[in-house]
């Protein structure tokens, strides 16, 4: 077995992943409006698929080629012996990849990128956990809710932080600005994030996005963020019984910014589109669960079909990729 | 009276105890603070170093009386906590895109809303409330 063949297979994963991402993220942008109308769960599922599928398909293609190569070799039908004019995508005869500077450089660049991104993400979560703990220490627990605190601050904000122990933080100023039902709406919204595991799911998607088409994959993540906010809005509306209560809470906290009462501390990366969220609560009461389930079925069938197609045409695909890369 | 303004950081155990004493009553000298630690009193120099550090962090102010400094809290406990929260939230929010999953804010401050849009949304919500939504 040639360890250097991993360079070749790695390049296959990246190439297939980037191309698939280009296709899926492009489709996501194309159908974003339609997904918005169908419901946030469908939008979130579609965005999830646009991020997860490219590396998954890349691994399927690469794995299938490696498996078929090995099977052929052990069956005495080693195809590599028949053509020596290019590099081999083969676990046995793939040692030549190491002598190709461009291939080594590409894998080194990509490997460094993924490792740095992984380090940044892990460090981000560890430090966020530490900061959330600091807020818990000065915070006052809210009723019987777990990991939910009011912190002393004149600025109005409400958020959830911490992947390992998600903590809901609401500022005293925000709490005092809301009426009882609006407070319930805000808590229900944040607890929906915790219940749905949005923080850790987003962390994983952020890492998988390394394998996606630049720029387009960021759009997919943004769509996921917005859809997740809307899912939490819908769950909060269901819990408090009235979408208008959730909408009024969103507006109450959003309004503080126009009066310059919230400085830069309330800025965070994921865009949430206040106006869209409020219209979504009233105009699209369905969360799009059915469509999300259909998308999941499509995913399973799609991945199955891809795996089947790759397995069926593994030999041709193998040669094609060898010709392109080698 | 001299103070030093610095960004607020969390207090260590001894720093917390010293601040509590000064929040309860002050101004006090190092010796007096150490005396109020009761059974937990420490070496004079340890308390002096701790209070000097708190002064440098901007949490204490001090005036010189003879050869000794007299310290008092530069911030009330509430002010300290508010600043600590502000600094912590700021640190959380200003992380780059990779830290985005760390947070799920109820309202995104980056969203742009003008007064006209807000008024329209308010009218929409009022209308829906009237219709029982």
Contact A192/A166 with Cβ under 8 angstroms? no
Q: Residue B9's pLDDT is what?
A: 80
Cβ atoms within 10 A of the Cβ of A81, count?
A: 10
Per residue in B79-119, pLDDT (tens digit) is 999 999 988 888 887 655 444 545 666 666 545 567 788 88
Question: What is the four-CA torsion angle of A89, A93, A94, A97, rounded to 10 degrees?
Answer: -120
Mean residue pLDDT across chain A: 83
Indicate yes or no: CB of B105 within 8 angstroms of CB of A268. Answer: yes
State the nearest Cα–Cα gap between A245 and chain B, in angstroms.
8
Locus of tokens 């260590």: B12
Mean residue pLDDT across chain B: 82
Q: Rounded distance, CA A223 to CA A206, Å?
A: 13
State the nearest Cα–Cα gap between B67 and chain A, in angstroms.
37
Q: Is A152 left (phi over 0), alpha (psi -120 to 50) or beta?
A: beta
Per residue in A167-211, pLDDT (tens digit) is 999 999 999 999 999 999 999 999 999 999 998 898 889 888 888
CA B88 vs CA A138, A171, B56: distances in Å: 11, 12, 20
Indicate yes or no: CB of A138 within 8 angstroms of CB of B128. Answer: no
Q: Residue A289's pLDDT is what?
A: 77
- A307 in reach of chain B (CB within 8 A): no
Q: Smallest Cβ distance to B102: which of A125, A154, A247? A: A125
Indicate yes or no: CB of B98 within 8 angstroms of CB of A121. Answer: yes
- pTM of this prediction? 0.82
Structure tokens at B12: 């260590």
State the nearest Cα–Cα gap between B46 and chain A, in angstroms.
25
CA A26 vs CA A43, A127, A129, A168, A270: distances in Å: 14, 34, 35, 35, 20
- A193 in reach of chain B (CB within 8 A): yes
Q: Residue B41's pLDDT is what?
A: 75
Cβ atoms within 10 A of the Cβ of A64, count?
A: 21
Indicate yes or no: CB of A151 within 8 angstroms of CB of B92. Answer: no
- Number of A/B CB contacts below 8 angstroms equals 196
Contact A160/B103 with Cβ under 8 angstroms? yes
Q: Residue B1's pLDDT is what?
A: 56
Contact B128/A278 with Cβ under 8 angstroms? no
Q: Residue A277's pLDDT is what?
A: 83
State the nearest Cα–Cα gap between B7 and chain A, in angstroms.
14
Q: Rounded distance, CA A121 to CA A115, Å?
A: 10
State the nearest Cα–Cα gap between B21 and chain A, in angstroms.
18
Q: Residue B70's pLDDT is what?
A: 94
Q: Rounded distance, CA A149 to CA A163, Å?
A: 16
Q: Rounded distance, CA A233 to CA B51, Å?
A: 48
Q: Which of A268, A275, A279 to mutate to test the interface with B (most CBs of B within 10 A)?
A: A268
Residue by residue, pLDDT tens for chain A (326 residues) are 677 888 888 888 998 999 999 999 989 888 888 888 888 888 899 999 999 999 999 999 899 888 888 888 888 777 777 666 677 788 877 778 888 888 889 889 988 988 887 888 788 888 888 888 889 888 999 988 888 999 998 888 888 888 888 899 999 999 999 999 999 999 999 999 999 999 889 888 988 888 888 888 888 988 898 888 889 999 999 999 889 999 999 888 887 654 333 332 222 223 347 888 888 888 776 667 788 888 888 888 888 888 888 888 877 777 777 777 76
Q: Which residues of A touch B125 (CB under 8 A)?
A: 244, 247-248, 251, 278
Q: Residue A263's pLDDT is what?
A: 30
Indicate yes or no: CB of A134 within 8 angstroms of CB of B84. Answer: yes
| Across B40-48, average pLDDT | 87
């Amino acid at each position: 077995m040639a360890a250097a063949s991993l360079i070749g297979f790695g390049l296959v994963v990246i190439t297939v992943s980037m191309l698939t991402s280009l296709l899926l993220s492009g489709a996501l942008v194309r159908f974003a409006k339609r997904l918005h109308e169908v419901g946030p769960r469908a939008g979130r599922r579609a965005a999830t698929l646009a991020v997860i599928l490219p590396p998954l398909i890349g691994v399927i293609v690469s794995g299938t080629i490696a498996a078929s190569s090995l099977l052929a070799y052990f069956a005495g039908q080693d195809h590599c012996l028949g053509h020596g004019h290019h590099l081999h995508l083969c676990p046995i005869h793939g040692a030549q990849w190491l002598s190709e500077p461009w291939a080594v450089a590409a894998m080194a660049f990509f490997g460094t990128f993924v490792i740095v991104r992984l380090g940044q993400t892990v460090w981000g979560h560890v430090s966020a956990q530490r900061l959330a703990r600091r807020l818990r220490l000065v915070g006052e627990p809210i009723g019987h809710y777990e990991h939910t605190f009011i912190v002393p601050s004149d600025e109005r904000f409400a958020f959830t932080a911490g992947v390992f122990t998600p903590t809901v933080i609401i500022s005293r100023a925000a709490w005092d600005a809301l009426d009882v039902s609006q407070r319930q709406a805000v808590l229900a919204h944040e607890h929906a994030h915790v219940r749905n595991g949005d923080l850790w799911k987003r962390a994983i998607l952020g890492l998988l996005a390394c394998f996606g088409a630049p720029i387009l994959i960021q759009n997919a993540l943004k769509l996921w963020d917005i859809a997740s906010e809307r899912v939490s809005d819908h769950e909060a509306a269901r819990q408090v019984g009235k979408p208008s209560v959730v909408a009024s809470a969103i507006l109450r906290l959003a309004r503080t910014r126009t009066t310059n009462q919230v400085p830069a501390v309330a800025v965070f990366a994921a865009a949430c589109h206040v106006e869209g969220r409020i219209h979504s609560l009233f105009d699209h009461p369905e969360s799009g669960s059915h469509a999300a389930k259909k998308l999941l079925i499509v995913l399973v069938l799609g991945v199955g079909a891809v795996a089947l197609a790759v397995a069926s045409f593994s030999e041709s695909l193998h040669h094609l990729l060898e010709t392109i890369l080698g | 009276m001299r103070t030093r303004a610095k960004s607020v950081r969390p207090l260590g155990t001894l720093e917390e105890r010293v601040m509590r004493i000064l929040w309860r009553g002050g101004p006090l000298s190092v010796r007096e603070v150490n005396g109020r630690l009761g059974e937990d009193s420490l070496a004079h120099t340890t308390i002096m170093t701790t209070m000097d550090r708190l002064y440098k962090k901007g949490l204490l102010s001090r005036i010189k009386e003879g050869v000794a400094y007299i310290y008092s809290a530069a911030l009330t406990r509430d002010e300290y906590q508010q600043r600590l929260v502000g600094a912590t939230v700021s640190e959380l929010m200003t992380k780059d895109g990779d830290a985005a999953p760390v947070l799920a804010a109820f309202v995104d401050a980056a969203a742009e809303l003008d007064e006209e849009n807000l008024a329209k949304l308010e009218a929409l919500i009022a209308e829906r409330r009237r219709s029982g939504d």
